[in-house]
């Protein structure tokens, strides 16, 4: 079981990261490069993009509150390689989490079932947090990193538990509690920074948010399908090995 989980997670994480990285380089990286022309040290919050879209880690860093520059990879190939590596690590981690949830809930792991759980992962980890904290480009004022991290984690956990109660437990009490959990973080409200006028064209921000969510959906869909396929392949190979050992 553990070997199947690890093997399937590695395959699924790698495939999902490849798809997400290709889409990111084609769709969001040009927007980041364009937005950085408008960015200033006074309006940047550290690690904003990794928080706004934690599945697709963008290799961009600004300045911390003390004015000291943060480390960032060199432009060009090093930056692209670092981004792809970070996305790969995220992909494997999320694939392990997806597989663990599938096994813990007693579901039969198939590509279709894993895809459904993958879509649930997109809803919990990407779409629900984006309602309050949409993916943001450099140069946009934001609240403190710690408060945004806290809200993101709370929203993702509450949404995931709520979806589990609504979609799997299904009883009237479970559905009511699940819906309450899904809504609660948005009633609480996401932290936001001061309203400032940016020189960056608004269309850049809108395109970045929409494209980031689209990439997140593709990431989770591929992750689910690939995990289900890899699990069946690994489990079938293990069964064949066991049968050959018995007949021998």
pLDDT in tens, 213-225: 999 999 999 999 9
CA separation, residue 158 to residues 106, 134, 162 (Å): 21, 18, 6
Q: Give the tens place of pLDDT for each residue, 155-207.
A: 999 999 999 999 999 899 999 999 999 999 999 998 887 666 666 778 888 99
Degrees to nearest 5, angle at CA 58 with 56 and 63:
140
Does residue 13 form part of some domain? yes
Whether the per-residue pLDDT at 14 is higher than 50: the answer is yes
Q: Which domain holds residue 95?
A: 2-139+202-247
Does residue 123 form part of some domain? yes
Is residue 218 within 8 A of residue 28, CB to CB? The reply is no
Does residue 28 form part of some domain? yes
Q: Give the tens place of pLDDT for each residue, 31-47.
A: 888 887 776 544 444 33
Long-range contacts of 37-41 (CB under 8 A, 24+ apart): 38/138, 38/139, 38/198, 38/199, 38/200, 39/138, 39/139, 40/139, 41/67
pTM listed for this prediction? 0.83
Give the whole-angstrom CA distance, residue 229 versus residue 119. Answer: 16
Would you give the distance in Å from CA 44 to the centre of its chain?
Answer: 22
Whether the per-residue pLDDT at 106 is higher than 80: the answer is yes
Give the whole-angstrom CA distance, residue 230 versus residue 9. Answer: 8
Does residue 180 form part of some domain? no
Does residue 196 form part of some domain? no
Instruction: Indicate the number of domains in the chain.
Output: 1
């Amino acid at each position: 079981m553990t070997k199947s989980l690890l093997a399937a997670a590695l395959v699924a994480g790698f495939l999902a990261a490849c798809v997400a990285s290709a889409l990111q380089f084609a769709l969001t990286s040009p927007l980041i490069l364009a937005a950085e022309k408008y960015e200033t040290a006074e309006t940047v919050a550290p690690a904003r993009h990794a928080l706004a879209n934690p599945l697709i880690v963008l290799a961009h860093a600004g300045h911390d509150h003390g004015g000291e520059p943060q480390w960032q990879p060199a432009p060009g190939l090093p930056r692209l390689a670092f981004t792809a590596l970070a996305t790969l690590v995220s992909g494997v981690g999320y694939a392990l989490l997806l597989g663990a949830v599938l096994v813990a809930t007693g579901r039969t792991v198939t590509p279709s079932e894993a895809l459904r759980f993958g879509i649930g992962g997109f809803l919990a980890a990407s779409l629900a947090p984006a309602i309050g904290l949409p993916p943001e480009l450099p140069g946009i004022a934001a609240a403190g990193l710690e408060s945004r991290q806290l809200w993101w984690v709370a929203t993702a956990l509450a949404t995931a538990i709520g979806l589990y109660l609504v979609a799997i437990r299904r009883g009237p009490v479970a559905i009511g509690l699940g819906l309450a959990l899904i809504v609660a973080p948005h009633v609480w409200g996401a932290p936001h920074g001061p309203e400032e006028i940016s020189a960056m064209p608004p269309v850049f921000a809108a395109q970045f948010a929409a494209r980031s969510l689209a990439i997140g959906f593709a990431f989770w869909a591929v992750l689910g399908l690939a995990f289900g396929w890899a699990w069946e392949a690994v489990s079938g190979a293990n069964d064949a090995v066991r049968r050959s050992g018995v007949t021998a």
